[in-house]
Amino acid sequence: MGIKEKILPQVIKVTTILTVVIGLTLLILWLGGAPPLRTLFYLWQGSLGSWSKVSQVVTAWIPLVLCCCGLLFSFRIGLWNIGVEGQIMAGAIFATAVLRLGLNGADPVMMIGSAFMAGILGGALWAIMAGLLKTKAGVNEIFSGLGMNFVAMGVSLWLIFGPWKREGIASMSGTEPFPNTLWLSTVFNVRLSHWGLLLVLAGLIVTVLILGRTHLGLALKAIGNNPRAALLHGLKPNRYMLYAIGLAGGFAGVAGAFQVVGVYHRLIPSISSNYGYLALLVVMLADYRVWSTPILAFFFACLNVGSIQLPMMLQLDSSLSGIIQGVVLLATLFVYGWQKKKRMKAE
């Protein structure tokens, strides 16, 4: 099969998905009494209308794609890693802890690199704890993931209002901002960092290589398709589940570290920006295919950034973006369940 035969069906599928999503968006706008075409124009203007807006979209797109890369590993083995939000926060906390050590004059480049390594470690450890609850205690990964999300949020708030609080201030604005020597460098005088783009490219390549070219990727697929058969062939499902969820957590941890080093430059309560939950939607819409995820992730990043100005322009509630994402998620789950039921009947 040639490249054209491989790529064309995916292009058609992604285009179809985007068309359906836009159609649902227009329907929701119409039901809400908003002028659909005007709203779409303001969404476009607020996300792609200037270089500054585009940089905001790409800055939101980077951690979203990183989370999607991680979820591809857990979904490949059949795990619903709902704990991505907590893994982002854990990565951000670990990265912040390392950067605080750099305030004493340590080499900035070394500290930024160490912060990202700490983010990977924090996210992976947080994910593995949820994985151990499943493999050792039989706790469903959905419940353990949600529980770990709440714990991560609690730890984050305790640090912000406790040991790491700003001098004389304890507010939701977060910890003391780091000096700009500990920030990722940016381009064109906007907040966009080229290092973030390189992170995404590296993440996508690593995901493709591991899932498609390694024994680990094949093992994850085999266990995801039929755990019992995989066990009979010598594969240990529980061990590979920990590998998969650990990789997923590592990617989420990188996203958390990027939020600290490249976006907010401090730890804030909302550091995850709900990218963990949004990544679940993107990966499902992309049908768990690597190269479809960045395209769909870009669309939702545009939706998130563009919806910010809707309250000012059209007196619409800023939660409209979340409503649209929720409806799309429900529609996706419905189609996913219907397809699964259809396959089971065919078998």
- Of 165, 175, 92, 80, the closest CA to residue 131 belongs to 80
Residues of the chain with pLDDT > 70: what percent?
93
Q: Which of the two residues, 247 and 346, has the higher pLDDT score?
A: 247
Token couple for 130: 């949820």
Angle of helix 3-31 relative to helix 320-346, nearest 10 degrees, comes to 130
Token couple for 35: 């002028």
User: What was the pLDDT predicted at 2?
Assistant: 56
95, 119 contact by CB (below 8 A):
yes
Rg (CA), the chain: 21
Q: Is the pLDDT of residue 6 over 80?
A: no
pLDDT tens readout for residues 198-208: 999 999 999 99
User: What was the pLDDT predicted at 17?
Assistant: 74
Q: Confidence band (pLDDT; 50, 70, 90) for 235?
A: very high
What value does the mean pLDDT of the chain take?
88
Dist. CA 326–CA 222, nearest whole Å:
31
Dist. CA 315–CA 302, nearest whole Å:
19
Q: Is the pLDDT of residue 155 over 90?
A: yes
Dist. CA 190–CA 169, nearest whole Å:
29
Q: Confidence band (pLDDT; 50, 70, 90) for 125?
A: very high
- Which position has the token pair 């690199």? 113
Q: Is the pLDDT of residue 238 over 70?
A: yes
pLDDT tens readout for residues 276-321: 999 998 998 888 999 899 999 998 999 889 888 777 777 776 666 6
User: What was the pLDDT predicted at 347?
Assistant: 58
259, 184 contact by CB (below 8 A):
no
User: What was the pLDDT predicted at 315?
Assistant: 73
pTM for the model: 0.91
User: Which range, of 22-26, 76-80, 107-111, averages the lowest pLDDT?
Assistant: 22-26
User: Which range, of 82-86, 185-189, 308-312, averages the lowest pLDDT?
Assistant: 308-312
Cα dihedral sign, 66-102-264-95? positive
